[in-house]
Structure 1
């Protein structure tokens, strides 16, 4: 399998703290801390590599934080196409307590110029030559052009590869209109972009042009809709607790692998649910507990509900 191009429009230096209990207004002793290169596309690429799928990260990076991020990815052996920009790369802080609850503090991404966005699109287009798929994952920085997602999806179409997008807000709608192979919002992102019942809202994304839509619903599992009108559901793995921040990224990794290999859709959904649950057991986003994944997978089955 050739590599998957993973675009992170809004990368970050991610800091994760673990505390016994998060109490507003109190001082906390941090049990342990972890600093790593982050962003949802970066996390997807890490999980893909863990499950044996080659990947390359494309991301705009700027300032000392951006240089650190690019060097850290390269030093860790993850193929990276860093696009230099003037804006400083943002930071995020996630506090995880012993109950598994995660509280995130996310800086907004700094605006890029139109020329810098064009450089990102050009880098993605070059990396798509000979690639097997495109993933665009994560939020967009303030001031990102409205046509960014459509331009990236169009580049995938031109390269003859499927495009998968995991984003939110107006970008989710513009991505749908561009005709990606798959969209993967979570339930909150979907509700914010398309109000109404989750099945009806996902159907709206299909009507706009998405080939398939998968909605991650936390404890309610995964919901997967196809353009031919089928709706499938996979129950969540019971009793799993930990750090949920990377579950959606692991889910995307499994979905894109399934699209590339042509696996049956019910199997793809079950695989995505199992890998997402295995990510919850890991210390940081972009990691998965592969032993847990192997245990979870035989217990999960996709059921057609409509």
Structure 2
């Protein structure tokens, strides 16, 4: 089983407009509302691919009730930790003509000591029963980077494979705790490590203790660097740019990483078979991320994903890369 942990979930609201004009009034169809947040989106992708998954998140207030109701109707197995504050909202406005999306993310409600402890204890208990744990998204007030460090370290010691998609001090904490995989985007990586070059930033996280770093580069694809690659690594991209709703692209990428960690025990070995497995992971991660862009809502993959996977260009990163 794969467990996804979303410390700061959201009720996702998505509006589509023919063309978004700043300062103008727009008449639009009713918004689509669904349970979201990075880890929930990862769980939704995996569930759609018939992978056994359990989504762990918090829920509170009126938006939390709507969040829980949508999860119930989705069929995604889940465990919710009740909190006193209201579940935040995330608003996506998709400009269909330009293929661009504007996102407004509310800050998450703070967790008190008891709520934080309940979430972390649930993540530890359920994670120890799982093959892979994906910890995704921002940390709400009340969940510190040190708490993430302890959670990741405990899960790794218990034998679970851990992938983390977060930012700031939490990203560094997860690396120090020995997370098997990290998935920052370019900006998050630079903010955390100080390296503008994504390969150098990825290697900095490997030096701290991470096993694999996959950096999402938007339309440029991704780079993947692991300790087993030595000074090298991989870049992967589509040879064309897709336009659509990119809000779930990174979450689809994390889902691909989690599935690979579950299916490939020797992913980090210094063998030809492991090299091939990391290349397949890079190819699939780009394809899943790209196919998510083609879908109207986060957490879904286009039926074109296999065709897209065949298009992905994977290349070795030179060992002399600065």
* TM-score higher than 0.5: yes
Q: Separation in 2 of the partners of 1:170 and 1:33?
A: 34
1:141-160 alignment to 2 at 5 Å? 141-160=140-159
SS at match of 1:302: strand
Shift of 1:87: 1.1
Structure 1 partner of 2:308: 296
Q: Does 1:7 align with 2:19?
A: no
Q: Separation in 2 of the partners of 1:156 and 1:237?
A: 38
Shift of 1:109: 0.3
CA contact 2:239–2:313 (8 Å) conserved in 1: no
CA contact 1:61–1:83 (8 Å) conserved in 2: yes
1:167-246 alignment to 2 at 5 Å? 167-196=166-195, 197-228=197-228, 229=230, 230-246=232-248
Q: State the Cα deviation string for residues 262-289 of structure 1 (Å, max 9, x = none).
A: 1611011101111110000001110111
Which range moves more in the overlay, 240-249 or 228-237? 228-237
CA contact 2:193–2:204 (8 Å) conserved in 1: yes
SS at match of 1:109: coil
CA contact 1:267–1:302 (8 Å) conserved in 2: no
Q: State the Cα deviation string for residues 46-86 of structure 1 (Å, max 9, x = none).
A: 10111221111111111121122122212211111100111
**Quick one: which of 266, 291, 300 aligns to 2:279?**
266
CA contact 2:225–2:234 (8 Å) conserved in 1: yes
**Quick one: which of 247, 250, 267 aligns to 2:249?**
247
Question: Does the C-alpha gap of structure 1 residues 100 and 31 become closer, same or farther in structure 2, counting only changes over 3 Å?
Answer: farther
Q: Separation in 2 of the partners of 1:14 and 1:144?
A: 22
TM-score w.r.t. length of structure 2: 0.90
Q: Separation in 1 of the partners of 2:36 and 2:263?
A: 27
Q: How many residues align?
A: 303
Shift of 1:32: 5.0
TM-score w.r.t. length of structure 1: 0.95
* Unaligned segments of structure 2, at least 5 residues: 268-276
* Unaligned segments of structure 1, at least 5 residues: none
Question: Does the C-alpha gap of structure 1 residues 214 and 74 become closer, same or farther in structure 2, counting only changes over 3 Å?
Answer: same
Q: State the Cα deviation string for residues 221-275 of structure 1 (Å, max 9, x = none).
A: 1100011323100023513111011010001101111121116110111011111
Q: Separation in 2 of the partners of 1:208 and 1:109?
A: 29
Q: Separation in 2 of the partners of 1:32 and 1:64?
A: 19
1:13-162 alignment to 2 at 5 Å? 13-31=11-29, 33-98=31-96, 99-162=98-161
Q: Separation in 1 of the partners of 2:202 and 2:282?
A: 16
Q: Separation in 1 of the partners of 2:61 and 2:182?
A: 32
Q: Separation in 1 of the partners of 2:235 and 2:250?
A: 16
Q: Separation in 1 of the partners of 2:279 and 2:115?
A: 40
CA contact 1:232–1:302 (8 Å) conserved in 2: yes
Q: State the Cα deviation string for residues 116-146 of structure 1 (Å, max 9, x = none).
A: 1111111112212431100001111134223
